[in-house]
Amino acid sequence: MAQLIPIKVTVNDTVYERQVEPRLLLSDFIRHELGLFGTHVGCEHGMCGACTILFDGEPVRSCLIFAVQANGHQIKTVESLGSPDHMHPLQEAFHEKHGLQCGFCTPGILMTVVPFLEEHPHPTEDEIREAIDGNICRCTGYEKIIESVQAASEKMSSGK
Amino acid sequence: MTGKYFGQPVLRLEDKHLLTGRAKFCDDIVIPGMLHAAFLRSDYAHAIIKNIDVTEARKHPGVVAVYTAEDMGDYWKIGPLQVPPPFAIKDAQFNARPLPPIAKDKVRFSGEPIAIVIAESRYIAEDACEDIIFDAEPLPAVIDLEKAWEDTSVLVHDDLPSNMAALVKQEAGDYEAAKKQADVVVSKRFVADHVAGAAMENRGFVVNWDERTQEMTVWAGTQAPLPLRSAIAGRMGLVENQVRVITPYIGGGFGPKVMTSQADDVLLPWISMKLNRPIKWIEDRRENFLATTSERDQVHHCEMALKKDGTILGFKDVFYHNTGAYDPYGMTVPLNTQTHTVSNYRVPNFYTEIRMVFTNEMVVTPVRGAGRSEGVFVMERMMDLAAKELKMDPVEIRLKNLLKKEEFPLNTGVIGQDFVVGVLDSGDYKNNLEKCIQMVDYEKFRKEIQPKARKEGKHLGIGVVAFTEGTAVGPYEGARVTVGNNGKVSVSTGYSTQGQGHFTVFAQIVAEQLNVKVEDVRVITGDTGHFHWGAGTFASRGATIAGSAIHAAAVLVREKIFATAAKFLEVPEDQVDLCEGSACVKGHPEKFISLGDLAGKANPMRGAVEADVKPGLEATAYYAPPHGATGSGACAMIVDVDPETFKVKIERFVLVHDCGTVINPLLLEGQIQGGVSMGIGNAFYEKMVYDENGQLMTASFMDYLMPQATDMPRKMEIGHNVHPSPLNTLGLKGVGEAGALPPSPAFCQAVEDALYEYELDLTESNLNPSMLYEFRNKAIKR
């Protein structure tokens, strides 16, 4: 049996203490140890962006980080944004603009866009394209994702 | 045909769960006691298996079992074919070599499974795969399609005399005679490159055999839940109601997830029953690239005979189609190619020949476009070639030859993937193109924009192409619509969904008939426990085939509501009206019975019920088309090419499309935009490359380039034509694959036009900057 390392991670404001193998990916930890299935795994080599989470507020690919590296850090996943009955304005905008189809890449895109909109409350279209360029979507052709982010920025800056 | 809900841009019912991370996908399924599977796959593309030593793997702590073909005994069987051979076509030859579940004696492609490890965790299962010693004698790999066809080639299947998987010829008129009458004959060899489906979610399979209930439950990210259910039941010796296949949320399909009888669905049910434990297998991205299925990969030798004025007299196409190491999915892809070369222009005489070849590559089955892309690519390129030869404008030659709307319905004389002779049902192909050139302002581009750009040293080019999309093929789909006691409506269909928006469009169809809110219609797709008839999600057939069945069932329920309500409201049926959520008396909305109460009345628990009256407000219906419905369209692309770096920027992208009646314009746009992004990916980014040893050089997203947000045109300008299909009540045609068809040929034409100083001759469907550089270097300077 591999050596187990104790870790203490704060995920969506809840503190979790677990014993994990050093090789356990953070994405697998979040999904299979904590049961937070909103974070999706699309490639496991850091290219698709589906597993993007916030690590101390920064968007990172959870498939490229080991769970042990999250020891003592703050994680936010898509579950932190909103619930089906009370969606985050960003989620509302994706719904209204048809910014998702199969929805598999969507949590990663949302978690990429949340800090982006904090830094760029009034982004241009080009800035949005650049921001989501590392997230692959096979379904939408991106156009409606970009419209969604634009709509979200308007909603959020108007305080709605 | 727009109603209260039907035809409206209704927002999707499925979104909220997806957006908040609550939707359940295959890998989110957890069952107590669940084990995990990993496959050991061959690194060799072609080799004789000498020995597979699993001794150490079996000893690995946490490993529960390891199986190879040898351990499977009589359960190891090849196949079956998922799609039957095309013997409806005269003299068709087909050598059936369906998939073995796991390699025995020989491996035929790199990535073919050779052993499966079942362990307490996926990490352990993968560790144990590394403990297996695989001893094999490598053989030369068969990769080049044209060489593979030759008698001297190494054989993929030793029991066959050649690598011929199939030979199918279809013709109409007399091409050779037409050629003799021609003023000009042009010919060219084209390559349609190999691409991946690359859904963002890989495949997955969870199985639980319950010994006490004698029932097996399967969760799978499949496009074909009913064929999968039947295949599993058949192999396991179970009757169909002992196997329930449930499709959870699926992260994209695009074709490859239609496959059944692959290693996972053959092996895991058997192992689950043997071990009496639930098992999960989730494919990883590398496995998806190496060993699921992919598509395109054809070499065409085309010839076209024309009159001086550009009228097509005849077309000939002999093409090689790579089926990979096996041919479990029959000939769907090359038959689609054959259909789509001659489906939008008037081609009075043609001869097309499919040479389907076995190679040491992964199996080829449909990927969005599914053979249509290749047909559209070669035909459109031939039109360009003819236009150049005749010094005609590429738009002019197309307008001259496009079929006219008065000609429909038109029998094409080509038997398609559905094994019936193609009939083009309706449309206005010329108008699609006219509208498209109007939207892009072709005249202005030619007369003002382009000359001005050239003066400034810029390389702007335009490409304009036309296409058809054969959609909505049979055999059939079905659905059941039920009004619940709470007044909400449930819809069950065997059709499965991968993000297209079926939960919403199916609900719109029902809501329109029953006058209930769209959000009060709950749709269940692809759960064989709820509805157990259907064929699957392919060929852009969901809205049309399943949608028509749902519509028919909703109409029956509506009739039953009227009949039942008339009794309880004590008025004649023609005095009953549907108020929202209730049945009421016409002109007296205060006299009503809610649909929920009516559903209760229609299902009395005591008392006599009239003979022949079925319980509940419920109906089941099916829809089977005589043949597919054909969508059509045209596409224009303006590109700006940097003649030094060969970076191509798409300045404008215009697409006019006709899919008949529109159920939801918002979702329709999404379908087209998604298809286009795949088409643009196929045109300039995505390409699966095998080396001469049969090694896939592009088995990750680092090597296989997916189109990203910055690669897309700023705006896809989409125009619609609506020519309802006469084949179904709602006038629907499919649209799912349309966007993927025209980008490659439009891109080639536009790039040739942009680099006007050279006589460029682009003959591949996938280009990239270095290939463009090569093509330019080969080209003669004007």
Q: Do B712 and A141 touch (CB under 8 A)?
A: yes
Separation of alpha carbons B121 and B116, rounded Å: 13
CB B96 within 8 A of CB B85: yes
* Percent residues over pLDDT 90 in chain B: 98
Burial label, B399 (beta-carbon count in 10 A; 0-12, 13-18, 19+) = middle
SS3 content of chain B, % helix, strand, coil (to 5): 30, 30, 40
For residue B710, what is the nearest residue in chain A, using CA coordinates?
A129
Cα B19 → chain centroid: 25
* Helix, strand, or coil (residue A77): coil
* Percent residues over pLDDT 70 in chain B: 100
Stretch 172-231 of chain B: residues touching chain A, C-beta under 8 Å: 198-202
Q: Do B20 and A81 touch (CB under 8 A)?
A: yes
- Residue-wise pLDDT for A22-59, tens only, equals 999 999 999 999 999 999 999 999 999 999 999 999 99
Q: Do A104 and B500 touch (CB under 8 A)?
A: no
The pLDDT assigned to B67 comes to 98
Domain residue spans of chain B: 15-21+474-623, 294-473+626-781
Residue A159 pLDDT level (bands cut at 50, 70, 90): low
The pLDDT assigned to A97 comes to 98
- Residue-wise pLDDT for B416-439, tens only, equals 999 999 999 999 999 999 999 999
Nearest to A104 among B20, B251, B285 (CB): B251
- Report yes or no: B624 at the A interface, CB cutoff 8 Å: no
The pLDDT assigned to B238 comes to 98
Beta-sheet pairing, B184-196 with B294-306: antiparallel
Nearest to B201 among A21, A39, A42 (CB): A42
Separation of alpha carbons B483 and B598, rounded Å: 9
Stretch 18-37 of chain B: residues touching chain A, C-beta under 8 Å: 18-25, 27-28, 30
Residue B504, C-beta contacts closer than 8 angstroms, at least 6 positions apart: B10, B11, B12, B13, B14, B518, B664, B667
- Residue-wise pLDDT for B282-320, tens only, equals 999 999 999 999 999 999 999 999 999 999 999 999 999
* Helix, strand, or coil (residue B169): strand
**Could you tell me how many helices (H) and strands (E) chain B has, helices first?**
20, 31
* Percent residues over pLDDT 70 in chain A: 98
List the CATH code of the domain at B294-473+626-781.
Answer: 3.30.365.10
Domain residue spans of chain A: 5-80, 89-157
The pLDDT assigned to B607 comes to 81
The pLDDT assigned to B610 comes to 80
Stretch 702-731 of chain B: residues touching chain A, C-beta under 8 Å: 702, 706, 708-710, 712, 714-716
Nearest to A47 among B14, B677, B701 (CB): B701
ipTM (interface pTM) = 0.98
CB B115 within 8 A of CB B104: no
Distances (CA, A) of B703 to A139, B289, B681: 20, 11, 13
Neighbours of B211 (CB within 10 A): 8
- Please state the length of chain A: 160
Rounded to 5°, the CA angle B615-B618-B624 comes to 130
Separation of alpha carbons B700 and A106, rounded Å: 21
Residue B212 pLDDT level (bands cut at 50, 70, 90): very high
Residue A160 pLDDT level (bands cut at 50, 70, 90): low
Q: What is the mean pLDDT of residues A83-106?
A: 98
Q: Do B27 and A142 touch (CB under 8 A)?
A: no
CATH classification of B15-21+474-623, choosing from 3.40.50.300, 1.20.1740.10, 3.20.20.30, 3.30.365.10?
3.30.365.10
Separation of alpha carbons B77 and B100, rounded Å: 7
CB B175 within 8 A of CB B350: yes
Nearest to B498 among A36, A102, A129 (CB): A102
Separation of alpha carbons B579 and B164, rounded Å: 63
Phi, psi of B703 (to 5 degrees): -105, -30
Distances (CA, A) of B515 to B5, B226, B488, B510, B654: 9, 31, 11, 8, 37
Nearest to B18 among A100, A129, A146 (CB): A100
Fold match, A5-80 / A89-157: no
* Helix, strand, or coil (residue A60): strand
Distances (CA, A) of B169 to B152, B178, B179, B226: 23, 18, 18, 32
The pLDDT assigned to B2 comes to 86
Closest residue by Cα to residue B37 from B239, B263, B341, B248? B263
Stretch 494-523 of chain B: residues touching chain A, C-beta under 8 Å: 498-501
Q: With 90 as the cut, is the pLDDT of residue B98 above it?
A: yes
Instruction: Write out the CATH class of domain A89-157.
Output: mainly alpha
CATH topology of domain A5-80: Ubiquitin-like (UB roll) (3.10.20)
The pLDDT assigned to B463 comes to 98
Q: What is the pTM of this model?
A: 0.97
CB B219 within 8 A of CB B26: yes
In Å, how far is B204's CA from the nearest CA of chain A? 12
* Helix, strand, or coil (residue B231): helix
Separation of alpha carbons B740 and B681, rounded Å: 9
Residue B74, C-beta contacts closer than 8 angstroms, at least 6 positions apart: none
A chain contacts of residue B715, beta-carbon cutoff 8 Å? 143
The pLDDT assigned to B611 comes to 80
Token output for B503: 């939960």
Neighbours of B606 (CB within 10 A): 5
Residue B137, C-beta contacts closer than 8 angstroms, at least 6 positions apart: B47, B48, B50
Fold match, B15-21+474-623 / B294-473+626-781: yes
The pLDDT assigned to A1 comes to 55
For residue B706, what is the nearest residue in chain A, using CA coordinates?
A136
Separation of alpha carbons B220 and B711, rounded Å: 33
Separation of alpha carbons B325 and B361, rounded Å: 6
Q: Do A40 and B200 touch (CB under 8 A)?
A: yes
In Å, how far is B722's CA from the nearest CA of chain A? 22
DSSP assignments along B602-620, one per residue: TS-SSS---TTPPSSSEEE
Distances (CA, A) of B469 to B425, B466, B521, B670, B677: 12, 10, 31, 17, 17
Q: Do B19 and A145 touch (CB under 8 A)?
A: no
Q: With 80 as the cut, is the pLDDT of residue B608 above it?
A: no
